[in-house]
Amino acid sequence: MCIAMPAEVLAIKEGNIGVVDFGDLQQEVRLDLVDVKIGEFVLVHVGFAIQRLSREEGLETRELFKQVHAAAMEE
């Protein structure tokens, strides 16, 4: 199963490259598939932003991933 992770767009570079923040990791991703602005949230899958999210959706989804990770680490 593949999972897309929510990330906030911090910067947009030449060549349609975005610098995004996953909460504890910053990474460059391709922005070819979405039209976004700095400060917006996107879902990232295999290095591509594939969908824009509202800020609320992005933060909520990020928190859910943290909770799932924490629960998995307890087992």
Domain ranges of the chain: 5-74
Task: pLDDT band for 3, please (50, 70, 90 cuts).
Answer: confident
Which pLDDT does position 22 carry in this prediction? 93
pLDDT at 2: 81
Q: Do the Cβ atoms of 30 and 48 come closer than 8 Å?
A: yes
What tokens appear for 11 in the block? 């910067």
Question: Which CATH fold would you assign to the domain 5-74?
Answer: SH3 type barrels. (2.30.30)
Please tell me what DSSP assigns to residue 5.
Answer: E
Instruction: Give yes or no for a contact between 51 and 4, defined as CB atoms under 8 angstroms apart.
Output: yes
Write out pLDDT tens, residues 12-53.
Answer: 999 999 999 998 899 999 999 999 999 999 999 999 999 999
